[in-house]
């Protein structure tokens, strides 16, 4: 039992050290559906309000595998101002973390057809680790649950036309500490940097092609790079995404009408762990509110074609 306790303790401490999970990883293969979560400057760029719900299950088939549930809403509240709100819940084994953040953006016209926006994100992460669920009573490191609140902020810039976008942002500027103990002396949310860009090509009357990439960097971790290519045919979208040295995914999205879009993604790991689980599944529902009454042209933002 003692060895078992130490083994599980190591796993739990690794999970705790892997804090800020949703703020320090590209959240989804379809990251453009949740872009305001990683860049507050994106808030309000559609002109109308957009509400997105997403559920991602990773490493399906593995006990305690990561699950992420998110809700985000953002929109324009004035000629130059955008506001947004996001709630993201991560669950990994006995760890449960919820991030609640608000976004503010201000945009200026860079030229007749281009807009440059700046954004600020602020909120709090609520961490709960239910160590008592492990039912290990003879280890002093595992006999008390962990509850911690950690405020944080982020900033970003977003430049876009009706075909091109470029995004730069950084999250977790305060680098708040999540957990301190005799085992983990300093597990904090490190600053995370995101760089992304994409372009929309017309391929005839009914087809459009959208290549894009997302690069993520954080101290102490390898740089993560996602490259995606999406093809839109009328109201149906197909795509493929590759996260270098980690995973490859196929995606499908269907626009039911002017206000509702549904998406599904299946991803498989390119690492050895892919032999022991059933991959990752991702579902999303995107609701565009007051889109038809908006003075903003459709497809003003490449993400929302």
pLDDT tens per residue, range 176-223: 655 444 444 344 568 899 999 999 999 988 899 999 999 999 887 889
Model pLDDT for residues 139-152, shown as the tens digit of each residue: 666 667 778 888 99
pLDDT score of 283: 93
DSSP at 17: H
**What backbone phi and psi angles, to 5 degrees, belong to 37?**
-70, -35
Q: How many CA atoms lie within 13 A of 91 on its CB side?
A: 10
Q: Which of 52-66, 122-136, 198-212, 263-277 has the lowest mean pLDDT?
A: 263-277
Sign of CA dihedral 243, 246, 249, 253: negative
Q: Return the beta strands (E) in the chain as ranges.
A: 49-57, 67-76, 81-92, 95-109, 115-129, 146-160, 164-171, 177-179, 187-188, 192-199, 201-202, 207-218, 224-233, 236-243, 247-255, 260-269, 280-289
Mean of the per-residue pLDDT values of the chain: 80
Instruction: Please check the confidence at residue 21 and state whether its pLDDT lies above 50.
Output: no
Mean pLDDT of 273-291: 77
Mean pLDDT of 56-66: 76
pLDDT score of 301: 55
pLDDT score of 2: 44
| Residue 280 pLDDT level (bands cut at 50, 70, 90) | confident
Q: What's the CATH class of domain 2-304?
A: mainly beta
Answer yes or no: pTM beyond 0.85: no
pLDDT score of 302: 53
Instruction: Please check the confidence at residue 135 and state whether its pLDDT lies above 90.
Output: no
Model pLDDT for residues 155-182, shown as the tens digit of each residue: 999 999 989 999 999 998 987 655 444 4
Q: d(Cα 134, Cα 242) in Å, to the nearest integer? A: 36
Q: How many CA atoms lie within 13 A of 161 on its CB side?
A: 11
Q: d(Cα 151, Cα 139) in Å, to the nearest integer? A: 31
Q: Where are the domains of the chain?
A: 2-304
Which one is predicted more confidently, 79 or 161? 161
Strand partners, 282: 56, 265
Model pLDDT for residues 26-50, shown as the tens digit of each residue: 456 777 788 999 999 999 998 889 9
pLDDT score of 53: 94
Q: d(Cα 279, Cα 258) in Å, to the nearest integer? A: 32
């Amino acid at each position: 039992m003692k060895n078992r306790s130490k083994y599980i303790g190591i796993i739990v401490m690794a999970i705790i050290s892997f804090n800020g999970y949703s703020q320090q990883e590209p959240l989804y293969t379809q990251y453009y559906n949740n872009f305001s979560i990683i860049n507050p400057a994106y808030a309000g760029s559609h002109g109308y309000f957009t509400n997105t719900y997403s559920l991602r299950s990773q490493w399906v088939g593995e006990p305690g595998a990561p699950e992420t549930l998110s809700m985000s809403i953002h929109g324009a509240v004035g000629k130059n101002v955008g506001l947004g709100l996001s709630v993201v819940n991560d669950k990994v084994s006995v760890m449960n973390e919820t991030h609640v953040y608000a976004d503010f953006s201000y945009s200026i016209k860079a030229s007749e057809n281009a807009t440059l926006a700046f954004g600020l994100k602020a909120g709090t992460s609520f961490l709960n680790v239910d160590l008592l669920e492990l039912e290990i009573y003879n280890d002093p490191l595992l006999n008390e649950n962990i509850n911690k609140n950690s405020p944080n902020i982020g900033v970003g810039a977003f430049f876009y036309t009706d075909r091109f976008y470029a995004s730069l942002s950084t999250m977790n500027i305060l680098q708040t500490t999540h957990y301190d103990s005799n085992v983990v002396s300093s597990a904090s949310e490190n600053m995370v940097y995101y760089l992304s860009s994409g372009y929309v090509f017309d391929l005839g009357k009914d087809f459009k092609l959208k290549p894009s990439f997302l690069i993520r960097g954080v101290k102490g971790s390898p740089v993560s790079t996602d490259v995606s290519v999406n093809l839109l045919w009328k109201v149906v979208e197909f795509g493929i995404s590759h996260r270098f040295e980690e995973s490859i995914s196929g995606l499908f999205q269907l626009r039911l009408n002017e206000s509702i879009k549904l998406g599904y993604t299946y991803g498989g790991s390119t690492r050895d762990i892919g032999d022991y689980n059933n991959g990752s599944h991702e579902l999303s529902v995107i609701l565009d509110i007051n889109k038809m009454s908006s003075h903003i042209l459709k497809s003003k933002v490449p993400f929302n074609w």
